Amino acid sequence: MALSIPRAALFAVVPAELLILISILSGSSTPTPAETLAAAIVAPFTVWESLIGYQLFTQARSGGAGRWTALRMAASGLVPLQLRMISRAEAKGMASLALWVRRGRDGVPEDGTALSYAKEQAPLVLVLLFALIVEMAAVELLMAASEVPAGLRTVVLMADLYGLAFGLALGAACTTRPHVVTAAELRIRYGAYFDVRIPRELIASVRVRREYPTGVVTVVDDRLTVAVSSQTNMVVELTRPISVTRPLGRRAQVATIHFFTDDPSTALKHLTA
């Protein structure tokens, strides 16, 4: 079964459904041409995707899978990989908020050394959160002065609150999910969005070198870069390439890794011990 078309349709159906929801909450009594077009798009695709999802579910069940396993298999088959990766990262980020409140850390064993990287970007996160709060208050005041229907104001407020929660979750995930060095591996992470484990026996050399790349998690040729605030300060050379999974699911082979840590001297000490 070719799933590329229904997977791509999700990106058109979801915005259309949001458009219909906003129109309903805004109190519009007469359908506009945009609302009518959105409804015409959503209805057949929703039915089509439901049928394909049910077919995937029944195929998994006939293969011996349990009900919940079959549901997960159907969702994995229908929902695009990029959307699944983003959803998982969002869920882990929200869970990091609770971990941050408890002052805990994820994936740091008793014999491991945590290498933080969140301090450098903390000012940027704080500025982002402040801007989100100001924007949320300004939009609410503007809509109240313009007598925007309460339903639509609620939708916008919920979207702003989610943006604020996203900023908090990003900071919490980077704080509670540091890089980790153990006797067996080097684990490099960026919040809930990237995670790679490197066996120590594959590390050929480690050195401190500050660079200023663009992007956060990027792969160029066989070089992986995990930057914080547009900088890295550690370079790890491997004896052979390893496979990494990028934040949106694409895989790549890398033999050199550039990453950032708040304390490069401690990283160098433990990685060369």
pTM: 0.75
Q: Which residue bears the tokens 């943006």?
A: 163
Q: Give the torsion through C-alpha atoms of 171, 176, 178, 182, to 10 deg.
A: 180
Instruction: Give alpha helix (H) positions in the chain.
Output: 4-25, 33-62, 67-78, 81-101, 122-145, 150-176, 264-271
Instruction: Encode the chain (273 residues) as per-residue pLDDT tens digits.
Output: 455 555 555 555 555 555 555 555 555 545 556 555 555 655 565 665 666 666 777 887 788 888 788 777 777 766 777 777 888 888 899 999 999 999 999 999 999 999 999 998 888 888 888 988 998 899 888 888 888 787 778 878 888 888 888 889 999 999 999 999 999 999 999 999 999 999 999 999 999 999 999 999 999 999 999 999 999 999 999 999 999 999 988 999 999 999 999 999 999 999 998
End-to-end CA distance of the chain: 53
Residue ranges of domains in the chain? 4-79, 101-176, 187-271
